[in-house]
Structure 1
Amino acid sequence: MMICIRGNNLTVPYVFFEGNNLQISCKFLINKMMDLKLNMATIFNKELVSIFNQMKTLFLFHKEIKKHYLISKKFNSINDLYFQDGDCAFY
């Protein structure tokens, strides 16, 4: 997992999991935010977000943010593209 802290915002641009490490990762992020007194987290990983939504936290609210990508027509046949926040690709 890569985290970036800027001001009061913790961002998770890249995350890769093996097995059932999602809950451990969420607890780590919550503890890190509390230790550093951060008040905002930006996470685009679907699995990580779903675990956060199931956990009880001290944070007041969350909102959904969607990012749109431009993809070349050459990739129209690919149906299961998955991008993370920091991904950038050229063809």
Structure 2
Amino acid sequence: MPAKSRARLNRQFDRIQRRIPNFAARALDWLRQPRARLVRIPLGLLLILGGVFSFLPVLGIWMLPLGLLLLALDLVFLQGPINSALVLGSRKWTLWRRSRRQ
């Protein structure tokens, strides 16, 4: 099961990388490499911590899901819930965009 969940998470990351600007896609590609684990885990934790303190002016709630995404690459128990949230969010976003076109 973890291999299937990991493959699904990688597909979701590939989809995200295609939709973001080139400089951010290159940074995300580097962060996804196994050798970047020592950077990825602390960065994910800092982003989650910044998301918790989103009431401060510089920090925002956007940091929380980004940190969880980065941690899901290394923590198997997060991969399932993150995959589900990504798929559900993508479906909701598509439905919302379709409803706005009409």
- The verdict on a shared fold, with TM-score over 0.5 as the criterion, is no
Q: Give TM-score, length-normalised by structure 1.
A: 0.31
Which of the pair has the greater relative contact order for Cα pairs under 8 Å at 6+ separation?
Answer: 1
Q: Give TM-score, length-normalised by structure 2.
A: 0.29
Higher share in helix: 2
Higher share in strand: 1
